[in-house]
Amino acid sequence: MADAKKKILVADDNPAILDALRIMLEEEGYEVETTVNGATVQDMKQPLPDLLLLDIWMSGIDGRDVCKLLKGAAATKHIPIIMISATKDIAQIAKDSGADDCISKPFQMEHLLAIVAKYVNKH
């Protein structure tokens, strides 16, 4: 049987970004689910994604807290989390929250795809 497509969950409060990312990732061969709602991320339902792209500033919810939560729960701690933010200084914040890596907006497509590829296979 061929490998199933990897599933990526993208969380960002901007619909346009979600749309662009969906196109980008689907064209690369991933299965993409998007949400603007932080709560959805927190209460992740099965099947769990293979990678989470998480925006730090989301309305109503702090991306860092979500990350910490997920990384702290047995069920979800294996999921690689890439944090996205508008500022350059996020590397430390990301690390502090337990994220695996981070990327800043606006990003280069190549760079994003490379990072996703790197982490999505690590299970």
Partner 1 sequence: MVFVLVQHLDPTQKSLLPETLARATSLPVIEATDGATVKSNYIYTMPSESYITIEGSVLHLTSRKKRSGSRNPVDSFFQSLAKHHGKDAIGIVLSGTGSDGTVGIQAIKDNGGRTFAQDASAQFNNMPKSAIDSGSIDFILPADGIAPALIQINREATGGTTKSKPEASNIGTILTLLKTESGIDFLQYKQTSVNRRIQRRMSLNHIGSVEDYAEFLKQNPIEVERLRKDMLIHVTSFFREPDQFETLKKLVFPAMLKNRSSKAPINVWVPGCATGEEAYSLAIAFQESLGKKASLRPTIRILGTDIAKHAITEAGEGVYKEDITEHVSPIRIRKFFTKVKAGYKVKKSIRDMCEFKVADVSQKPPRLHNELISCRNTLIYLGEELQQKALLMLLSALEPEGVLLLGKSEGLGGSTKLFFPLDSSQRIYYKKTLSPETADLRKAFNSKAYMDITPLVSQKTTTKPDESGRTPRQKKITKLKEAVALTQDYTNEIISELDMVNEKLQSANEELASNSEELQTNNEEMSTLSAELQTRNEDVTIALDYADAIIRTVRGPLLVLNKDLRIISANEAFYNAFKVAANDTENRLLYDLGNRQWNIPKLKTLLEKILPKSNTLTDYEVVHDFKDIGQKTMLLNARTLQQGPNKTSLILLGIEDITERKQNEQQKDEFISIASHELKTPITSVKAYTQILGQRFRKAGDTRSSELVEKMDSQLDKLTDLIGDLLDITMIEAGRIRFHESYFDFNKLVEETVEELQRTTEKHRIVTELQPSRTVYGDCDRLGQVLTNFMTNAIKYSPHADKIIVSTVVDKDNVTLSVQDFGMGLSQKDQAKVFERFYRVGGSNQNTYPGLGLGLYIAAEIIKRHKGRVWVTSKKAKGSTFCFSFPMTKQRK
Which residues here bind partner 1, judged by CB under 8 A?
A: 14, 16-17, 19-21, 23-24, 27, 57, 86-89, 91-92, 105-110
Which of 46, 92 has the CB closer to partner 1? 92
Which of 12, 44 has the CB closer to partner 1? 12
Which of 9, 70 has the CB closer to partner 1? 9
DSSP 28-78: HT-EEEEES-HHHHHT--SSPPSEEEEESEETTEEHHHHHHHHHHSTTTTT
Q: What minimum distance in Å lies between the beta carbon of 92 and partner 1?
A: 7
Number of C-beta neighbours around residue 89 at 10 A: 10
